[in-house]
């Protein structure tokens, strides 16, 4: 067992800087957002978001590796398919919303308050990467407010052992991030990293609404974060990587559209 732990630590130390540098080099397509940003007040905090289209509302919860800019294309594609798509700048992440981070146990309330002041009706939640845990918790508590749930490349762990390993890995990432992501203040925020560590935990909630998990065949995270296998969801895989909102936008929009029309209409 000690040998495996040592090998695991060495692996994390070896690949973390490479992954971070690689992701830093990823640039979202040059897309001008079709909708202007608007602001609402959520729990006394100004929250900026973009709303585009008409139809069944979709709320996109972005992954934690970048800003909402890389999600403009998928917002545009879904709006063109007949949906009313909301893309908020999440608290603490890059964007115009306050840099004040909120702990994991307050996210469900934050989403519900945003729903009340901005969306105003039932919606479909689409989460990406680390935001999967947030989406699962919200739907568990407020399932009557949510029509469906789509988890794209969800980072969920399956056991306490895996949880401990990735929490250790996150500390190594925390060391390298300020070096690679010098323009992203949240990676230096201790509260932000405390929340990120909470997100790297065993998923205790099961969906109480129609649910779909989407993975890319070229995304190594599906073998590293295996908690998704314990979630009772329809699961599909496609020939994309961890960020289909950037490099497989049309296909991702088509899959989301097909699921909503099949399950919810």
89 Cβ partners below 8 Å, 6+ apart? 37, 47, 48, 49, 67, 68, 95, 96, 97
Q: Which residue has the higher pLDDT, 33 or 140?
A: 140
Residue appearing with tokens 């936008």: 249
Do the bridges between strand 146-152 and strand 83-88 make them parallel or antiparallel, or are there none, so unpaired? Answer: unpaired
pLDDT tens digit string along 1-54? 445 444 454 444 444 443 443 344 444 444 555 567 899 999 888 889 999 999
Do the bridges between strand 45-52 and strand 83-88 make them parallel or antiparallel, or are there none, so unpaired? Answer: antiparallel
Does 124 have pLDDT greater than 90?
yes
In a domain, 119, yes or no: yes
pLDDT tens digit string along 159-168? 888 888 877 7
Domain range for 231 is 33-158+204-264
Q: Which residue has the higher pLDDT, 225 or 242?
A: 242
In a domain, 239, yes or no: yes
Give the closest residue to 70 by CA, choosing from 263, 258, 252.
252
In a domain, 8, yes or no: no
26 Cβ partners below 8 Å, 6+ apart? 243, 246
Average pLDDT over residues 221-249: 90
| Overall domain count for the chain | 1
Average pLDDT over residues 197-213: 81
In a domain, 5, yes or no: no
Output the pLDDT for position 236.
96
In a domain, 17, yes or no: no
What confidence tier does 100 reach under pLDDT thresholds 50, 70, 90?
Answer: low
In a domain, 199, yes or no: no
Average pLDDT of the chain is 80
Output the pLDDT for position 12.
47
In a domain, 166, yes or no: no
Q: Interhelix angle for 249-264 vs 72-80, to 10°? A: 50
Sheet containing strand 234-238, strands side by side: 37-42, 45-52, 83-88, 56-61, 123-128, 146-152, 211-216, 234-238
Q: Which residue has the higher pLDDT, 30 or 260?
A: 260
Percent of the chain with pLDDT over 70: 72
Rounded CA gap, 192 and 183, in Å? 15
Average pLDDT over residues 208-221: 93
Output the pLDDT for position 93.
67
In a domain, 26, yes or no: no
What confidence tier does 158 reach under pLDDT thresholds 50, 70, 90?
Answer: confident
Rounded CA gap, 232 and 62, in Å? 22
Q: Which residue has the higher pLDDT, 102 or 182?
A: 102
Q: Which residue has the higher pLDDT, 212 or 184?
A: 212
Q: What is the DSSP letter of 54?
A: S
CATH number at residue 41: 3.40.50.1820
Percent of the chain with pLDDT over 90: 45
Output the pLDDT for position 128.
95
Rounded CA gap, 111 and 124, in Å? 12
| Range among 35-44, 188-197, 231-240 with highest mean pLDDT value | 231-240
């Amino acid at each position: 067992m000690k040998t495996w732990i040592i090998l695991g630590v060495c692996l994390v130390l070896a690949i973390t800087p490479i992954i971070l540098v690689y992701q830093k080099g990823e640039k979202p397509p040059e897309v001008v957002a079709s909708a202007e940003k608007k602001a609402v007040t959520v729990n006394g905090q100004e929250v900026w978001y973009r709303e585009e289209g008409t139809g069944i509302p979709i709320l996109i919860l972005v992954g934690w590796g970048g800003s909402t800019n890389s999600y403009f294309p998928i917002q545009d594609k879904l709006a063109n398919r007949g949906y009313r798509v909301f893309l908020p700048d999440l608290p603490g992440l890059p964007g115009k919303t306050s840099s004040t981070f909120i702990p994991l146990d307050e996210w469900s309330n934050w989403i519900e308050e945003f729903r009340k002041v901005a969306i105003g009706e039932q919606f479909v939640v689409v989460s990406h990467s680390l935001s999967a845990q947030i989406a699962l918790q919200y739907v568990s508590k407020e399932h009557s407010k949510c029509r469906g749930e789509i988890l794209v490349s969800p980072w969920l762990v399956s056991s306490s052992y895996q949880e401990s390993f990735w929490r250790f890995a996150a500390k190594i990432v925390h060391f390298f991030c300020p070096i690679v992501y010098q323009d992203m203040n949240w990676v230096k925020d201790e509260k932000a990293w405390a929340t990120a560590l909470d997100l790297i935990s065993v998923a205790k909630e099961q969906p109480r609404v129609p649910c779909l998990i989407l993975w890319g065949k070229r995304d190594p995270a599906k073998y590293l974060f295996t908690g998704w296998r314990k979630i009772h969801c329809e699961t599909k895989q496609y020939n994309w990587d961890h960020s289909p909102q950037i490099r497989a936008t049309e296909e991702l929009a088509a899959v989301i559209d097909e699921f909503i029309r099949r399950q919810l209409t």
